[in-house]
């Protein structure tokens, strides 16, 4: 299995631009999570989906952030407009309801830099 795939791995953009991060979960996993890692706040959950339906988006920082999961094999996290304080590493993770240990499998992350 290829694991969780994220693209791009690095993104540099200018303030005000739209940014779209992409994620392909592990096949057969029915939960998908988006996390953000910053020096100040550590690793924090933004939103998670179950069977393509958003379950908890209480971690989404503001309306500039949106996430979608149009099908079981693809999700996007969009920031519009982007701001310098959005600079962080964004991780996508997936898990299975029948998996052991509540284990979530993380992708390699997308490092976002907003200038």
Q: Is residue 75 within the footprint of other proteins (CB under 8 A)?
A: no
Q: Is residue 44 within the footprint of other proteins (CB under 8 A)?
A: yes
Retrieve residue 57's tokens: 């988006």
Query: Considering only residues 42, 70, 71, 98, which one is a binding residue for other proteins as defined by CB under 8 A?
Result: 42
Q: Is residue 48 within the footprint of other proteins (CB under 8 A)?
A: yes
Q: Is residue 46 within the footprint of other proteins (CB under 8 A)?
A: no
Rounded to 5 degrees, what are φ and ψ at 86?
A: -85, -5
N residues, the chain: 115
What does the alpha-carbon distance between residue 16 and residue 49 come to, in Å, rounded to a whole number?
Answer: 27
Tell me how many residues contact other proteins (CB under 8 A): 23
* Minimum distance of other proteins from residue 9's CB (angstroms): 9
Q: Is residue 1 within the footprint of other proteins (CB under 8 A)?
A: no
Helix and strand totals (H; E) in the chain: 0, 11
Contact criterion met (CB below 8 Å) for 69 and 94 = no
Q: Whose Cβ is closer to other proteins: residue 42's or residue 70's? A: 42
Q: Which residues pair with 47 in a beta bridge?
A: 34
Which residues of this chain interact with other proteins, rule CB under 8 A? 4, 31, 33, 42-45, 48, 50, 55-56, 91, 93, 95, 101-109
């Amino acid at each position: 299995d290829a694991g969780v795939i994220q693209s791009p791995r690095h993104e540099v953009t200018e303030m005000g631009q739209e940014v779209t991060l992409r994620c392909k979960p592990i096949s057969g996993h029915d939960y998908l999570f988006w996390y953000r890692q910053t020096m100040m706040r550590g690793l924090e959950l933004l939103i998670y989906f179950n069977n393509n339906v958003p379950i908890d988006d209480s971690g989404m920082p503001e309306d500039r952030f949106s996430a979608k999961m149009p099908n079981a094999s693809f999700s996007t996290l969009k920031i519009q407009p982007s701001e310098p304080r959005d600079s962080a590493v964004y991780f996508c993770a997936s898990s299975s309801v029948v998996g052991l240990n509540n284990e979530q499998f993380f992708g390699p992350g997308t490092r976002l830099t907003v200038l």
